[in-house]
Structure 1
């Protein structure tokens, strides 16, 4: 399948498969792969959890926005952090050079996959429940997505296939 210079940008909740499916897509389509969480950690010299613990969730979102706005790449699958969608500027930048794909999984599956979410460096207000965070982000993911693919009842290969089958023509 021939891709143009556009990127494929993966968005979704922690546990939705952005990194795993992203790598599978990159291999299948002959593209490079970028995990922006790793870029954030590299730039900050700390893990996401350390950033949240030391400076708060807003600091993480600020660094994430900076990293995303400075990303100028082509022919890549980009796995974003779950909170990338809080930056309209970053999402506009990503959409300008790529197709945004929302990996949609229900809350129960998020909980099943990530377990104790306090360990995952999730950017959320300290008083915010996972349910509230899920609802808030679902609206944002839906707003920015060019394509939504459901992950429920599918393994990662099947999600990858569904993404490829539903990509807009290059």
Structure 2
């Protein structure tokens, strides 16, 4: 049986609106771990918002900065909320996986749309011609590939998602 606090870091991946930041804070409190939000680290590194990076330099610049931030991340026993595009960097994901358990917070596209509202202002890293539907499909494959544990979030509140993560870790489910 796995003790959730003995697995190194818990790394949360998923689409914007999947609850990575909100659930991450709750998990950190519940498990007595620290919390790191890599979107905030990216903004700190760049000195501007994610949306400003995308608007001024393009989505590829945001992905490059994100990869640099993730590769520099050297923490233990933390819950790490990653940006939705972290999975585009195999190097960064291997780095995160080396000292952690990757948890995919999976929600359907309809719920993503409902939660994020006007996605044009969310700093989402995507090609200018790419629809949210196409981005969702593309990323779903990557999230599934890297996940050690997948938690279905549809119909669950934040506390229930936390429960599902802890139960999944304890049971060794994938």
TM-score over 0.5 for the alignment? yes
Q: TM-score, normalised to structure 2's length? A: 0.95
2:10 alignment partner, SS class: strand
- 1:3-56 Cα offsets, whole Å, 9 max, x none, are 226000000000000000000000000000000000000010000000000000
Report how many aligned residue pairs link the two structures.
170
Unmatched tracts of structure 1, length 5 or more? none
Q: What residue number does 1:121 align with?
A: 123
Unmatched tracts of structure 2, length 5 or more? none
Q: What residue number does 2:169 align with?
A: 167
1:77 alignment partner, SS class: strand
Higher alpha-carbon deviation: 2-11 or 39-48: 2-11
CA distance in 2 between counterparts of 1:148 and 1:120 reads 24
The list of structure 1 runs, each at least 4 consecutive aligned residues, that deviate by more than 4 angstroms after superposition, is: none
- 1:121-170 Cα offsets, whole Å, 9 max, x none, are 00000000000000000000000000000000100000000000111579
CA distance in 1 between counterparts of 2:4 and 2:39 reads 28
Q: What residue number does 1:66 align with?
A: 68
Residues 51 and 69 of structure 1: CA distance in aligned 2, closer, same or farther (over 3 Å)? same
Residues 118 and 146 of structure 1: CA distance in aligned 2, closer, same or farther (over 3 Å)? same
CA distance in 2 between counterparts of 1:126 and 1:2 reads 39
Q: What residue number does 1:90 align with?
A: 92
Alignment equivalent of 2:104, drawn from 94, 102, 105: 102
Q: TM-score, normalised to structure 1's length? A: 0.97
RMSD: 1.3
Q: What residue number does 1:112 align with?
A: 114
Deviation at 1:70, TM superposition (A): 0.4
Contact 2:4 2:170 in 1 (8 A): no
CA distance in 2 between counterparts of 1:2 and 1:136 reads 30
